Amino acid sequence: MSTPLSSRISSALRPVPDYPKLGMTFYDSMPVFRQGGLLKEIVEALAAPFMESGITHVVGIEPQGQILGGAVAVRLGAGFLSARKPRKSPWIQVRQVYALEYGNDNIERGRDDFAESDRVIVVDDVLSSGETAAAAGDLVRALKGTLVGYSFMIEELADKGRERLEGGLVHAVVKM
């Protein structure tokens, strides 16, 4: 009998205690990405709920969401865009500011990235507080795209990030 995908993902994560601040645990997903077969299964699981949704674009949240989001976009036959940190692109940007449990941050996208007919999902490795994902969803809507939903490799249930997300299906491969 094979080990479930969620167990293989959980055991491959590298927990980093007291990061980014004392009392918090950061789950480093890079050890998961090193395993080609596992990464392929994760991409399939992230894309699965959206296969028949007519997705035209995937937005991956920088940095790890870019890795997963690009692969999910290929699997869905969709275009890919990243929700980027400020000043990473010289093109005209629209910025979305959001609060984190340890400060403020913001993400940007090009002003002309979406048309009203575009159907978009947001992809990231971890759903924690939900603030970054919610900001990415708000950015999609501000740029006139239709937000179909969100897909995450891991959802940290204690942080209740799902409650902050509006605009469609919220899917997580692993819930911990």
pLDDT tens readout for residues 98-141? 666 666 666 666 666 678 889 999 999 999 889 889 989 988 99
User: Would you say residue 26 lies in a domain?
Assistant: no
In this prediction the pTM is 0.88
Structural domain harbouring 89 = 46-175
Task: Read off the pLDDT of each residue in 136-148 and give the average, rounded to a whole number.
Answer: 91
Q: What is the CATH number of the domain that holds 53?
A: 3.40.50.2020
Task: Read off the pLDDT of each residue in 20-48 and give the average, rounded to a whole number.
Answer: 92
SS3 assignment, position 33? helix
Can you list the alpha helix ranges (DSSP code H) found in 53-96?
64-76
Task: Read off the pLDDT of each residue in 152-162 and give the average, rounded to a whole number.
Answer: 93
pLDDT of residue 13: 94
User: Would you say residue 19 lies in a domain?
Assistant: no
Rounded Cα distance between 58 and 147, Å, is: 10
Per the structure, how many domains does the chain have?
1
User: Would you say residue 24 lies in a domain?
Assistant: no
User: Would you say residue 30 lies in a domain?
Assistant: no
User: Would you say residue 145 lies in a domain?
Assistant: yes
